[in-house]
């Protein structure tokens, strides 16, 4: 089976190295979340693997922390919250919510604080409760690991990446700086939105000779891989296509779902090809049909409004 995602990532990596672009702002911004996920896994699977751990906060940040990990570690024994009677709205099972006042009775070795904004306040609350174990504010801890970020960690994922890319594109429109256009192209390639990226590659080639040959070669390499994918579809005896478009399920969770895993293995799957962003539906259509179906719809306002924050279906 052709591993399209790895092929595309190898093409992008070579382009960055050959043109000494790996230190660019957009590259660093696109890789922050991946670095955070790796650090979180090291924290839970190595540093705290023998600890009983609590997480402070029954809210979105704790949910995002587990989402970033891809699973809920067995070492997590409770969630700590002032409103311990509130249910865990994302249906986490077998992990109780406790009040900070009874934390001493839980035998915890460490408490994680996912919130950057309230980290100091929560640390004071824990100390006042008498807890004398490890208290780890994950943003401070990330900084100690060499990952300095200004915002809450989850904002570097999902639609947040599109907003970063959009800002670069807006700067190009406002200033005419072609380096901002190149930055936009790189960002789109990082999130596997090849359809938009190809359109902007064409635009870049038309307006400047900078990186012209390199971008032409990049586009050619992308199209060659797409051709291989379409040929593999044609050659297969089955015609099933499986898209993993699930908001609350990490792809890693498939390991615990043998039926879905079997379907993925036996059929043609795009599970590791695309992101969940709404705009990538054009990439899937282009990939399957061989036609660049995107017209003049780059960065429509509705892609970036507060009403369009979810991953959701690609609507195809």
What is the pLDDT, as a whole number, of residue 91? 57
What is the pLDDT, as a whole number, of residue 267? 54
Q: What is the per-residue pLDDT across 222-264, written as a single tens digit (0 to 9) for each?
A: 989 888 877 776 666 655 554 444 433 444 555 556 666 665 5
Q: Give me the DSSP letters along 205-228.
A: HHH--TTHHHHHHHHHHHHHHHHH
Residue 259 falls inside a structural domain: yes
Confidence of residue 281 (pLDDT cuts 50, 70, 90): low
Mark whether 81 and 178 lie in a shared domain. no
Q: Please name the residue that has the structure tokens 């009040």.
A: 99
Q: Please name the residue that has the structure tokens 């040959």.
A: 213
Q: Please name the residue that has the structure tokens 């179906």.
A: 293
Mark whether 82 and 11 lie in a shared domain. no
Mark whether 238 and 268 lie in a shared domain. yes
Residue 278 falls inside a structural domain: yes
Mark whether 26 and 172 lie in a shared domain. yes
**55 neighbors 112 (Cβ within 8 angstroms):** yes
Residue 61 falls inside a structural domain: yes
The answer to whether the Cα torsion of 91, 160, 301, 223 is positive or negative is: negative
Mark whether 263 and 164 lie in a shared domain. yes
- In this predicted structure, the answer to whether residue 172 has a pLDDT above a threshold of 90 is yes
Exposure on the CB side of residue 8, measured as CA atoms within 13 A: 23
Residue 111's H or E segment, with its range, is strand 110-113
Mark whether 142 and 183 lie in a shared domain. no
DSSP at 62 = H
Structural domain count of the chain: 2
The larger pLDDT score, comparing residue 308 to residue 257, is at: 257
Domain ranges, residue 70? 48-154
Residue 227 falls inside a structural domain: yes
Q: What is the per-residue pLDDT across 97-123, written as a single tens digit (0 to 9) for each?
A: 888 889 888 999 999 999 999 999 999
Mark whether 103 and 170 lie in a shared domain. no
What's the first-to-final CA gap in the chain, in angstroms?
Answer: 24
Looking at the DSSP bridge assignments, the partners of residue 112 are: 55, 136
Q: What is the per-residue pLDDT across 140-170, written as a single tens digit (0 to 9) for each?
A: 999 999 998 888 998 888 677 878 888 899 8
* 3-class SS of residue 44: helix
154, 172, 204 - which closes a domain: 154
Alpha carbon 26 to its chain's center:
15
**CATH code at 87?**
3.40.50.720
Residue 96 falls inside a structural domain: yes
Confidence of residue 15 (pLDDT cuts 50, 70, 90): very high
CA distance 55 to 250: 20
Length of the chain measured in residues: 316
198-216: average pLDDT: 95
Mark whether 263 and 125 lie in a shared domain. no
Alpha carbon 69 to its chain's center:
11
Q: What is the per-residue pLDDT across 45-91, written as a single tens digit (0 to 9) for each?
A: 999 999 999 999 988 899 889 988 888 899 999 999 888 666 655 55
269-277: average pLDDT: 44
What is the pLDDT, as a whole number, of residue 257? 61
Residue 209 falls inside a structural domain: yes
119, 154, 189 - which closes a domain: 154
Mark whether 103 and 17 lie in a shared domain. no
What is the pLDDT, as a whole number, of residue 60? 85
Residue 40 falls inside a structural domain: no
What is the pLDDT, as a whole number, of residue 71? 86
99, 120, 154 - which closes a domain: 154
Mark whether 24 and 163 lie in a shared domain. yes
Mark whether 25 and 162 lie in a shared domain. yes
Residue 185 falls inside a structural domain: yes
CA distance 108 to 299: 48
């Amino acid at each position: 089976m052709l591993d399209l995602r790895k092929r595309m990532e190898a093409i992008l990596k070579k382009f960055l190295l050959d043109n000494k672009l790996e230190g660019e702002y957009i590259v660093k911004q696109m890789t922050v979340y991946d670095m955070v996920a790796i650090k979180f896994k090291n924290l839970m699977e190595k540093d705290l693997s023998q600890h009983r751990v609590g997480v402070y906060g029954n809210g979105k940040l704790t949910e995002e922390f587990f989402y970033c990990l891809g699973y809920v570690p067995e070492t997590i024994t409770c969630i700590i919250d002032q409103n311990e009677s509130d249910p865990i709205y994302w249906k986490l099972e077998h992990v109780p919510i406790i009040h900070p006042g009874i934390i001493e009775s839980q035998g915890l070795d460490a408490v994680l604080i996912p919130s950057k904004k309230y980290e100091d306040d929560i640390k004071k609350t824990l100390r006042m409760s008498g807890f004398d174990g490890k208290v780890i504010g994950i943003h401070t801890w990330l900084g100690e690991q060499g990952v300095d970020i200004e915002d809450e960690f989850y904002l570097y994922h999902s639609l947040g990446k599109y907003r970063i890319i959009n800002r670069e594109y807006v700067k190009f429109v406002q200033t005419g700086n072609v380096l901002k256009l190149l930055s936009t192209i790189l960002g789109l390639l990082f999130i596997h939105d090849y359809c938009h990226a190809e359109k902007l590659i064409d635009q870049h080639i038309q307006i400047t000779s900078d990186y012209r040959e390199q971008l032409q070669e990049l586009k050619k390499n992308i199209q060659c891989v797409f051709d291989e994918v379409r040929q593999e579809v044609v050659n297969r005896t089955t015609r099933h296509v499986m898209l993993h478009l699930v908001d609350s399920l990490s792809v890693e969770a498939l390991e615990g779902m043998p039926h879905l895993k079997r379907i993925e293995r036996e059929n043609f799957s795009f599970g590791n090809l695309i992101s969940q962003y709404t705009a990538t539906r054009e990439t899937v259509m282009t990939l399957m049909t061989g036609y660049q179906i995107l017209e003049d719809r780059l960065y429509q306002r509705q892609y970036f409004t507060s009403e369009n924050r979810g991953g959701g279906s690609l609507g195809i």
